[in-house]
Amino acid sequence: MSSQKKRQTDNFLIQGSILAVTSILVRIIGLVYRVPMARILGNEGIGYYGYAFEIYNFCFIISSYGMPMAVSKLVSERTAKKEYTNSLKLLFGALTVAIVSGGLLSAGVYFGAGYISTHLFANPAIQIPLRALAPTVIVSAVLGVVRGFFQGKGTMVPTALSQFFEQIVNGIVSVWAAFEFAKAHSASVNIAAYGAAGGVTGTFIGALFGLLFISFLLFVNIPVLKRQRRKDRGDPEAMPKLIKIILATSVPVMLSQILVRSNGIISMTLFNNILNLKGVAKETYTSLYGIYEGKFLLLCNIVMGITSAITTASIPSLVRGNVLSTRKEVGKKVRMALKFNLIIAIPSTVGLGLLGGPIIRLLFGDTDPIIGQIMLVGSFTITLYTVSILFCTIIQSIYSMMIPVILNLIAMLIDIIFTYLLLMYTDLSVFALILGGMLMPVIVIALSWLIIRIQLRIRIEIFKTFIVPTIASLIMGVAVYFSYNLVLNLTKRYYLGLAVALPIGVFVFFVFELLLKGVNKRELRNFPKGHSLIRLARKMRLMR
């Protein structure tokens, strides 16, 4: 019995590792195609690309963001109770909601693009890439539902495969279309916006391919689903009731993210309008936003994509534990998910803070000194959002769907005032966006921690979870800083400094994380290539 519990406890980490590895591959592919696309579009074009995506993401959240988590949670509950028919009906109900809401929002984005770009962002050219991106809302909505269904069944493989192939297609089409659109409109004053429209077209084609692929996997699994239905033990639930449950579960998740994205939209609006009011040229603040969204956030999102994979994989496991009243196991899974996330997030924060500037230069050829400053100041975003998102997921999975919404609302209101004051009364410019972006997760973490500790009574190992990876990361940071600068001074080649400093950083963190007993053998085994890491640790006499 204990071995079965152990397998169930570790399974979500294995599934999370599958998604994490895929996230790494997807982000690498994203970097590969964003490099030539950024060179084609320039900072201004990447700025338009970022504006369009910010608005698209907001509309996607309204249409169906909470749906994958809701479907995953509800399907997992019914599968745990062997209500297989109801889990299938949940899928069809969620698809109905996604098609209707996604279709309405796609139409709203397409036909409202002119008003949005002109009246909200003081930049009419934004409507060009925004219209090209509009159909992606409905495609992504449906795609998210099917992914959530498979996740609720306890497998992350279909999600991982569809993400991988989606990004491959996205990358190829984005670069080609960005070049062709810019070339076709080379005489236009809005050439950067047209190039961005080509780039976002790749996003639509990639999402469409991902949907077709995962739909094929669903079709292949129909015989398995039919066999499960013959073992059904539950009473059938009416479709209207299931749709109400889906909405009741997904809307709080959606509201939390609407608040997060609203903060981004409002900050972007304040940034554009206040800098415009101060007499800053449109091309200047658009280029600054291009650096912020297209380079700084791109690197941060690579790491946060990996940690969010662990968080996503933890949802079905947390729900099953809660349904079966194994609160001790739930606490164990929470601690393991948090530890895994921070082992990735904290060293990444230090590494990108120190080497972000040279990495951006290597990828995009951009030598603007402001980039290194942005990375140094803003890299804390990685750890803050990683913990914030995980804490909200924990609370919504096993306690209350609405509490994280309230926490995010409180944090957003404070953050908007803070960002406005920085933009209006200081010359921080883009750094005001970064500092404002970090305040919101800080507030959410502080309030969520109180709920997890007091209401859920889940104890978190402060030393091993937070302090050990922080100490190991700081030691790593010293090694990275001196090795990079030593090689740079000797060779005058920044890329050689990166080639030496990055593996040294990984090695030093690995050694000190184990020396300080931050992770044990069982936990390490669940990392990608965990057995190989254990063998290496034994050879180095870091682990028995």
Q: Can you list the positions of beta strands (E) in 315-465? A: none
CA gap 156, 321 in Å, rounded:
18
| pLDDT more than 90, % of the chain | 40
The residue with greater pLDDT, 397 or 10, is: 397
**How do residues 378-389 score in pLDDT, each as one tens digit?**
999 999 999 998
pLDDT, residue 9, reads 47
CA gap 451, 357 in Å, rounded:
38
Poorest-pLDDT segment among 62-76, 276-290, 361-375, 411-425: 62-76
Stretch 269-296: mean pLDDT = 87
Largest CA distance in the chain: 73
DSSP string, 518-535: -S-HHHHHTSTTHHHHHH
Stretch 216-227: mean pLDDT = 88
Q: Which of 218, 212, 210, 4 is nearest to 92 (CA)?
A: 218
Phi, then psi, of 489 in degrees rounded to 5: -70, -35
Confidence label for 19 from pLDDT (cuts 50, 70 and 90): low
| Residue 400, Cβ density class (10 Å: 0-12 exposed, 13-18 middle, ≥19 buried) | middle
pLDDT, residue 542, reads 84
CA gap 308, 201 in Å, rounded:
25
Given a cut of 50, whether residue 302 has pLDDT beyond it is yes
CA gap 142, 162 in Å, rounded:
13
Given a cut of 50, whether residue 1 has pLDDT beyond it is no
| Residue 462, Cβ density class (10 Å: 0-12 exposed, 13-18 middle, ≥19 buried) | exposed
Given a cut of 80, whether residue 322 has pLDDT beyond it is no
CA gap 375, 291 in Å, rounded:
11
380-398 vs 430-450: helix crossing angle, rounded to 10: 40
**How do residues 492-512 score in pLDDT, each as one tens digit?**
999 999 999 999 999 999 999
Paired tokens of 369? 């000194």
**How do residues 445-461 score in pLDDT, each as one tens digit?**
999 998 888 877 778 88
**How do residues 60-101 score in pLDDT, each as one tens digit?**
777 767 788 888 888 888 888 888 888 889 999 999 999 999
pLDDT, residue 516, reads 92
Paired tokens of 314? 């933890």
Poorest-pLDDT segment among 207-221, 472-486, 523-537: 523-537
CA gap 483, 490 in Å, rounded:
11
Three-state helix/strand/coil letters over 194-239: HHHHHHHHHHHHHHHHHHHHHHHHHHHCHHHHHHHHCCCCCCCCCH
Distances (CA, A) of 317 to 90, 128, 151, 397, 449: 19, 43, 10, 10, 21
